Amino acid sequence: MTRIRIHGGRVVDPAEGRDEVTDVVIVDGRVDGFIGQEAGGEFDRTIDAAGLVVAPGFVDLHCHLREPGFEDKETIATGALAAAAGGFTTVCCMPNTNPTLDTANDIAFVYARAQAAHGARVLPLGTITRGQQGRELSDASELAGAGVVGFSDDGRPVWDGRLMRYALMESLRHKKPIVNHCEDPEIADGGVMNQGRVADLLGLKGQPATAEDVMVARDIELARETGGRLHLAHISTEGSVALLRMAKRDGLDVTAEVTPHHLTMTDAWVLGQRNGKASGRPYDTATKVNPPLRGESDRQALVAALAEGLIDVIATDHAPHRSIDKDCTYDEAAFGISGFETALGCLTRLVDDGQLTMLDVIRRLTWEPCRIFNLPYGRITPGLPADIVLFDPRAQWTVDAARFHSKGKNTPLDGETLRGAVVATLVGGDVVYERGTV
Amino acid sequence: MNAVIESAEHTNGATNGVAAAPIPWAGRRHVLDLNDFSRDEVLQVLETADRMKEVLARPIRRVPALRGRSIVNLFYEASTRTRVSFELAAKTLGADVVNVSATGSSVEKGETLLDTVRTLHALGADLLTIRHSHSGAPYTVAAHVDVPVINAGDGTHAHPTQALLDAYTIRERFGRVEGLRVVIVGDIAHSRVARSNAWGLHLLGASVCLCGPPTLLPPTTIAPAAEPPWPVEIDMDLDHAIADADVVMPLRVQLERQEGNRLASLRAYARDFGISRQRLARAAPGAIVMHPGPMNEGVEIDADVAHGAQSVVQSQVTNGVAVRMAVIYLLMAASQVGSKARAPAQHDRGGRREPQMEVRA
């Protein structure tokens, strides 16, 4: 029997409504209970959490681990470790690999790799359409049986409304979310950043916000008609927020996520202006992401929607790339930000600015994602696996992308100073990450 | 360098050689767009170009100012006038000039832009002029490789030397730029010429109107309650915009960009936005017509206007050489001083001449 004690930390667990300084006892990988700081007992290891927040491990519903097929960008092993370094204990990986995750065999491969990895738990999504080609539906029953947590063609939208309608119908049977990347490709028209003042100034092709809005509207109406289970990936616009408000008001089975970068950055970053200061450089390809960084009014609408609980969860859309995918012109550069290891730091900034509470942030990173994807994690509850993160909400650190555990060093935050540092991450009671030791 | 410098000394009344002469562009590292130019810097180009024109008028059009210097023209996009203009400008200044185009170079073997530039830098290029179909490509190069860069046109973003030669040509015709009304007509959304002219002509005190059909105007200029990101007015009605214009500048309809059905037809475009003799008659007396070329005669400009008395299209081309000589000369002078005086600006985020994209309202 292995007994671990997490000693002296402030335990914050939104699911249990707990926010108190107490010790957590873990026995054989599961939470055993809580004891007072002064209580005695024999432990194999006592982890000092004085001054730290002890929270359920973060759960990311949206990331790209690139394996199979793009192992030079990331592997399940490097991704799982990078996730743990960011405080994540469970991450759901998108199936836009090569081959795409279309069959039970593909899913078994991911689980086998995840088993061998040291870090966060990895749970795959399957494709909505075979090969993400948007022509015929994947075998959702087979994929559900193999253990996918949801379905997505992420990276590209399900453009064909008829297929999306059928996919939502199928979700009535397997009860798993259909996760759509909402982007009307004709309206987006190959845009490489947000359509707006900055795109006009830089002469870069913009994607209008309406490219996202119209597909969010379509999917919500299809969810209304079918009763299907719709989850909107990485919403980024004021318009999507308004549509989500309508969907929730009408009681539809619709949920949504937002990324740390859309909550904290705008298209001004593409111009080299960060937080009102000219501290970056124009055309920095690290800012290229899809959906693109939007305008300030979009960002504010997203933060407000998260604060009021309209947006259900925060998801990273961790999208690692090689340096050569970014060391090129803005038009040529790959879309994506390596997000695991800066997520907490980004979100702490919003807490420091008074726009969100730490309890909100933790809730949207733990209990809420588990609730909407029906995962048995996201809380510190006796009997459940001890998936726990310890972080210092006040610690300042400077982002050095070269030291990321992820293979993807692509972040616009390189060199920025953030507050909020992960100190240790436990998955099933195993310390899979400790700051300074990995 | 003597010929140019003698002329400069004469103009300035200075008695010293180049080392002691004031360096007009001190601290400038690159020419990426005019939005980071001061009015003085632009005026220095125009004045230097006057002297370069004198050089070009000589029987032997060659000065040794940049003897022993290597200038590479890296062109990823088709070009006649800009490439030849840069080449003649550099050669007239005595530099060794190498032209590299995407076809027939390692670009065809898949070499990346940055690797190509690093190679050219290693081969000893002292200055790069870059033409690229992607907006921002010269900024990418300037951020990663320690070599002065002149933007010779990047995607739909900027074409600073074109804007400078346009300003020069306007000043040559009117004796001033200040107070003139300039109407730029056509595919503004995809025009690097319009963007750079918006900055340059504004600096010199002209009022600039961008005119075109809504589908060819930058989206933020026509959005409800929008403010254009440049100091310009926007007009969708050419007959209205052209009234009292001193300068009318139709832009090439970029036929390759019309695949998205932005225009009902070229005929409809010519009817509503083509510069005909009748339309031009509504402009101010003595108005001139400019075109950055190449022209689609019969579409954005009628042939009789293009080659008529009010057209200064050929002067633009001729002036382009003198203006590019001035830009190359000033930048080389500034960067020589700069390289001695200060560390390379690479990764120098706080550096004044890091290619910041300052927004001017």
pLDDT digits (tens, 9 = 90+) for A165-188: 999 999 999 999 999 999 999 999
Instruction: Please determine, for residue B227, whether its predicted confidence score (pLDDT) is greater than 70.
Output: yes
Based on the number of CB atoms within 10 Å of its own CB, is B122 exposed (0-12), middle (13-18) or buried (19 or more)? Answer: exposed
**pTM of the model as a whole:** 0.92
Q: What is the pLDDT of residue A79?
A: 98
CATH of the domain at A348: 3.20.20.140
Q: What is the pLDDT of residue A398?
A: 96
pLDDT in tens, A101-135: 999 999 999 999 999 999 999 999 999 999 999 99
Query: Are A283 and B140 an interchain contact pair (Cβ–Cβ within 8 Å)?
Result: yes
Separation CA B287–CA B28 (nearest Å): 35
Q: What is the pLDDT of residue A275?
A: 78
All structural domains of chain B, each given as residue ranges with its CATH number in brackets, are 2-159+318-335 (3.40.50.1370), 161-315 (3.40.50.1370)
DSSP code for B81: H
pLDDT in tens, B69-82: 999 999 999 888 99
Q: What is the pLDDT of residue B4?
A: 46
Would residue A139 count as lying in a domain?
yes
Provide mean pLDDT across the span A376-402.
Answer: 97
Q: How confident is the model at residue B355 (pLDDT cuts 50, 70, 90)?
A: very low
Q: How confident is the model at residue B337 (pLDDT cuts 50, 70, 90)?
A: low
Interface probe with A: pick from B30, B32, B77, B140, most Cβ of A within 10 Å: B140
Retrieve residue B128's tokens: 């790069």
Size of interface A-B (CB pairs under 8 A): 91
Identify the bridge partners of residue B249 per DSSP, sorted by sequence position.
B184
The gap from C-alpha A262 to its chain's centroid, in whole angstroms, comes to 12
Q: What is the pLDDT of residue A276?
A: 75
Provide mean pLDDT across the span B301-328.
Answer: 97
Helix, strand or coil for residue B336? helix
Would residue A180 count as lying in a domain?
yes
Nearest Cα residue to B326 out of B126, B48, B17? B48
Would residue A399 count as lying in a domain?
no
pLDDT in tens, B124-170: 999 999 999 999 999 999 999 999 999 999 999 999 999 999 999 99
pLDDT in tens, A181-219: 999 999 999 999 999 999 999 999 999 999 999 999 999
Q: What is the pLDDT of residue A388?
A: 98
Based on the number of CB atoms within 10 Å of its own CB, is B360 exposed (0-12), middle (13-18) or buried (19 or more)? Answer: exposed
Residue with tokens 């845009």: A191
Would residue A43 count as lying in a domain?
no
- Neighbouring residues of A130: CB distance < 8 A, sequence distance ≥ 6: A100, A102, A136, A137, A138
Instruction: Please determine, for residue A314, whether its predicted confidence score (pLDDT) is greater than 80.
Output: yes
- Listed in order, strand segments (DSSP E) in A28-148 are 30-35, 45-48, 53-56, 58-63, 88-93, 121-124
Angle in degrees, CA A48, A50, A55, rounded to 5: 85
Phi, psi of A45 (to 5 degrees): -150, 140
Q: Counting every residue, how long is chain B?
A: 361
Q: What is the pLDDT of residue A21?
A: 97
pLDDT in tens, A261-300: 999 999 999 999 987 777 789 999 999 999 999 999 999 9
Would residue A428 count as lying in a domain?
no
Active site residue A317: yes
Provide mean pLDDT across the span A1-19.
Answer: 96
Neighbour order of strands in the sheet with B247-250: B233-235, B207-211, B181-185, B247-250, B288-289
Q: How confident is the model at residue B349 (pLDDT cuts 50, 70, 90)?
A: very low
Would residue A256 count as lying in a domain?
yes
Instruction: Please determine, for residue B6, whether its predicted confidence score (pLDDT) is greater than 50.
Output: no
ipTM of the complex: 0.89
Instruction: Please determine, for residue A74, whether its predicted confidence score (pLDDT) is greater than 70.
Output: yes
Q: What is the pLDDT of residue A324?
A: 95
Considering CB atoms only, which of B140, B260, B357 is closest to A189?
A: B260
Q: What is the pLDDT of residue B260?
A: 62
Query: Measured between beta carbons, which residues in chain B are less than 8 angstroms from residue A330?
Result: 134-136, 140
Strands A151-152 and A178-180: parallel
Number of other CB atoms surrounding residue A384 within 10 Å: 15
Would residue A372 count as lying in a domain?
yes
Instruction: Please determine, for residue B308, whether its predicted confidence score (pLDDT) is greater than 80.
Output: yes
Query: Are B135 and A204 an interchain contact pair (Cβ–Cβ within 8 Å)?
Result: yes
Q: What is the pLDDT of residue B22?
A: 62
Q: How confident is the model at residue A321 (pLDDT cuts 50, 70, 90)?
A: very high
Considering CB atoms only, which of A203, A208, A331 is closest to B158?
A: A203
Interface of A with B in 104-163 (CB under 8 A): none
Instruction: Please determine, for residue B3, whether its predicted confidence score (pLDDT) is greater than 70.
Output: no
Helix, strand or coil for residue B347? coil
Selected residue with higher pLDDT from A438 and B130: B130
pLDDT in tens, B176-213: 999 999 999 999 999 999 999 999 999 999 999 999 99
Q: What is the pLDDT of residue B258?
A: 62
Residue A215's domain comprises 55-378+406-412
Would residue A49 count as lying in a domain?
no
Tell whether B219 is within 8 A of chain A (Cβ).
yes
Provide mean pLDDT across the span A405-410.
Answer: 98
Q: What is the pLDDT of residue A99?
A: 97
CA closest to A190 among chain B residues: B260
Give the percent of chain B with pLDDT over 90: 74
Instruction: Please determine, for residue B340, whether its predicted confidence score (pLDDT) is greater than 80.
Output: no
pLDDT in tens, B228-238: 899 999 999 99
Q: How confident is the model at residue B306 (pLDDT cuts 50, 70, 90)?
A: very high
Q: Within 13 A of B123's CA, how many CA atoms are on the CB side?
A: 16
* Ramachandran bin of A257, using left for φ above 0, alpha for ψ from -120 to 50, beta for the remaining angles: beta
Q: Within 13 A of B255's CA, how many CA atoms are on the CB side?
A: 9
Tell whether B198 is within 8 A of chain A (Cβ).
no
Q: What is the pLDDT of residue B8?
A: 40
What is the overall mean pLDDT for chain B? 87
Domain tally for chain A? Answer: 1
CA closest to A202 among chain B residues: B157
Contact of B33 with B327, CB cutoff 8 Å: no
CA closest to A206 among chain B residues: B219
> Which of A106, A253, A312, A317 is flagged as catalytic?
A317
Query: Are A281 and B139 an interchain contact pair (Cβ–Cβ within 8 Å)?
Result: yes
What Rg value do the Cα atoms of chain A yield, rounded? 21
Q: How confident is the model at residue B110 (pLDDT cuts 50, 70, 90)?
A: confident
Burial B182-212 (b: 16+ CB within 10 A, else e): bbbbbbbbbbbbbbbbbbbbbbbebbbbbbb
Considering CB atoms only, which of A197, A280, A331 is closest to B134?
A: A331
What is the overall mean pLDDT for chain A? 97
Instruction: Please determine, for residue A29, whether its predicted confidence score (pLDDT) is greater than 90.
Output: yes
Q: What is the pLDDT of residue B23?
A: 73
Q: What is the pLDDT of residue B348?
A: 37
DSSP assignments along A149-215, one per residue: S-EE-TTS----HHHHHHHHHHHHHH---EEE----HHHHTT-SEESSHHHHHHTPPEEPHHHHHHH
